[in-house]
Amino acid sequence: MAYQRGERQQTQLFPTSLEEYVGAEDPVRVYDAFVEQLDFKDLGIVLDDQQIGPPEFDPVAMVKLLVYGYAYGIRSSRKLERALHHNVSFMWLLGGLKPDHKTIARFRRDHREGLKNILKQCVRVCLKLGLIEGNTLFVDGTKIRANAGMRESWSEERCKRALKQTDERIESILKECERVDQSESDEGSFVELPGELKEALALKAKVKEIAESLKNSDKAVFNTTDPDCRHVQGRQGSHAGYNVQTVVDDQNGLIVQSDVVKDVNDRHQLAEQTHEANTTLGKPCQTVCADAGYDYNADWKKLEEQGIAVIVKPNDQGPSGAFTKDQFRYDAKRDCYTCPAGEQLVYRGTRQKAQHRIYGITKATICRRCIHKKTCTKNWNGRTLARAPFEEIRPIVQQRYESVSGQWIYARRQSKVEHPFGHIKHNLGVQAFLLRGFAGVRAEAAILASCFNIARMMTLIGTQNLLPRLRTV
């Protein structure tokens, strides 16, 4: 069988305009229509054709470039510039405009605050299209690497160690200089020593400056490349990164809230992220669900007081048995516990850091004479219990989580809230942020979440049906 071979010198007739290169149902038209309906005034990006100064590239076109590029894993400004010269869909999207990589990077950097608001407008579009219900929300977080390395992360211990080594090096250089000066032999001169001394003194000054910055911050580790990033623990080990929080709606798995937070864990994020999601939705949700990482009584109580049912897997308090904490009955009026043997544990004091109230047996001899002591406690002074603030909310959440309806909702959590993370990290290839600082990474997180929502909308409605609906939103 003969092979079909191409011929580069063959004369061909190409379409006369870029419009003819892009089909009527091409996904690029959806991204174009989505950005066209954005309220740039609400984003904080000024559109003024009469502004004074040299001509600039249309901000609407630049936002189209960023959103469409992120949607297909092209985030680098240099790769975006290359796509504008070789990719027909990018050429069509910008109408033949070809900004260079410096212009693209500068636009993204200068409009970080505006770009992070894109997700809110995307959610409002989904609400108008009837794709978000807003009754049950799922909250989860993931770690994404920062545009910084661990080698530039400094702790107090590392600063002390570096200063000690630098002082020893400076002392060694000075002694060597003195020895050479006193020597009368013809061994040559160590002319490089003054230069080494200068470098050592400069390093010492730099480490002192880092130590001062670390002292003034509220972090245990300070990164000189990206001061806002944190030392996080992920599946890939320890690295400089950020904690990305996402709130997903139960109806179609669309993202309604995305943020990058300072905390390295999820414990204090449930109430805040739910509040931000409800603000965007314009109404309070009925139920919020999260994993055990969001075990925090204060947030649970705050949400329950707003009429929002919390479904969270409480952290285990130890193995079940006759003398575990859940077997001790708490009397709120008398502020004491009663053990399974019928003895009382009264209030003894409060741990200042965690604000846990401590309860203990009235007399240590009572526990020592108890036949259950070996099973209950090994403490010679008797059994003690710690009661966290707002612990009265735990039985309510525990009961709801263990109920049939609670287990059904919790089982849906993983398939809903993990899906966006998988799409962003695997399909879009996002292993690290490109921008630095909270403003930059929040803008990137918002664009990535919006890209997921747009791709999801095309899956749910179809490109052909979605295009006219976007244009009339």
At residue 12 the predicted structure's pLDDT band, cuts being 50, 70 and 90, is: confident
Confidence of residue 227 (pLDDT cuts 50, 70, 90): confident
Predicted model pTM:
0.84
Helix axes of 394-402 and 297-305: crossing angle, nearest 10 degrees:
80
Helix (H) or strand (E) holding 424: none
pLDDT of 184 reads: 47
Whole-Å CA distances, 254 to 32, 426, 451: 20, 18, 11
Residue 159 confidence (pLDDT): 66
Q: Once rounded to an integer, what is the mean pLDDT over residues 258-287?
A: 94
| CATH superfamily placement of domain 136-147+243-316+395-447 | Ribonuclease H-like superfamily/Ribonuclease H (3.30.420.10)
What value does the CA radius of gyration of the chain take, rounded to a whole number of Å?
A: 31
CA–CA gap between residue 134 and residue 121 (Å, rounded):
15
For 248, phi then psi, to 5°, come to -120, 140
Given a cut of 60, whether residue 317 has pLDDT beyond it is no
The gap between the terminal CA atoms of the chain, to the nearest Å, is 55
Residue 24 is predicted with a pLDDT of 87
Greater confidence (224 vs 307) lies with 307
Nearest CA-CA partner of 137 in 298, 4, 252 = 252
Tell me the residue type at 383. Answer: R
**With pLDDT > 70 as the criterion, what percentage of the chain qualifies?**
86
Q: Write 467-472 long-range contacts (CB < 8 A, 24+).
A: 467/25, 467/29, 467/30, 467/33, 469/129, 470/30, 470/33, 470/34, 470/37, 470/125, 471/33, 471/36, 471/37
194: pLDDT strictly greater than 70:
no
> Does residue 411 register a pLDDT over 70?
yes
**What is the pLDDT, as a whole number, of residue 190?**
47
pLDDT tens track for 101-135: 999 999 999 999 999 999 999 999 999 999 999 99
231 compared with 166, residue with greater pLDDT: 231
Rounded CA separation 28/332 (Å): 62
**Which band of pLDDT confidence, cut at 50, 70 and 90, is reported for residue 229?**
confident
Please list, in sequence order, all residues whose beta carbon lies within 8 angstroms of the beta carbon of residue 229, skipping any fewer than 6 positions away. Answer: 146, 148, 223, 240, 241, 242, 436
What is the average pLDDT across 249-266? 93
Beta carbons within 10 angstroms of residue 15's beta carbon: 9
pLDDT at 409 over 90: yes
- Which pair of structure tokens corresponds to residue 367? 């526990």
Q: When comparing pLDDT for 331 and 227, which is higher?
A: 331
Residue 178: band (very low, low, confident or very high) from pLDDT cuts 50, 70, 90: low
Q: What are phi and psi of 328, to 5 degrees?
A: -90, 125
Q: What is the mean pLDDT of residues 415-441?
A: 92
- Quote the CA–CA distance of 316 and 324 in Å, as a whole number: 11
| In contact, 469 and 141? CB cutoff 8 Å | no
- The residues spanned by each domain of the chain are 18-110, 136-147+243-316+395-447, 150-223, 325-382
